[in-house]
Amino acid sequence: MGKFTFTETELEGVFVISPTLFGDDRGYFMETYSQRDFEEAGLFYRFVQDNQSRSSKGVLRGLHFQKEHPQAKLVRVLKGEVFDVAVDLRRNSKTFGKWFGITLSEENKKQLLIPRGFAHGFLVTSDTAEFAYKCDDFYAPGDEGGLLWNDPDIGILWPQTEGILLSEKDRRNPLLAQLDFSF
């Protein structure tokens, strides 16, 4: 029996993944990734880099992608809670410009699998959050792309829009209509 439930979203290739928890009065154990289980579900990824960040409430990281070296990501929250978002940037996709969002938390243990060709970002909704993600390609400095977090043509329904804390880079991200590349 597999140790994960894989639920495909309305965006082709984006999956919500729920691990099976094994617990007792001592605590719990769970697998967060198993190549065998993922491949049995038809998800063939070779993850090569793990990243982790810590952020305060109201921090919005994103929406990010790499242009020439796109990355698939498997993301989860270790501590706290975030609202996590994927935006389809595949020009030939029937869901181009559409988004999917989900709350990921240390309590629900859910993960989001985001394939190549998507922008990704998250908003911290707890006091702090520790966020971890696996990538199937290495970070490539100078290859970063971004999309404005509140682009009205995309219409992401963030849980909050006041008091958002952005990096200077993310403040300058373009609108979807201004992107000069395609996946």
DSSP letters for the chain:
--SEEEEE-SSTT-EEEEEPPEEETTEEE--S--HHHHHHTT------EEEEEEEETTBEEEEEEESSS---EEEEEEESEEEEEEEE--TTSTTTT-EEEEEEETTT--EEEE-TTEEEEEEE-SSEEEEEEEESS---TT-EEE--TT-TTT----S--SS-B--HHHHTPPPGGG-----
Among the options 64, 69, 120, 139, which is catalytic?
64
69 is an active site residue: no
Q: Catalytic: which of 28, 45, 120, 133?
A: 133
Q: Are 177 and 91 in contact (CB under 8 A)?
A: no
List 112's β-bridge partners, or say none: 16, 75
**Cα–Cα nearest to 149, from 126, 125, 175, 128:** 175
Token pair belonging to 96: 């181009």
45 is catalytic: no
Which sequence positions are flagged as catalytic?
64, 133
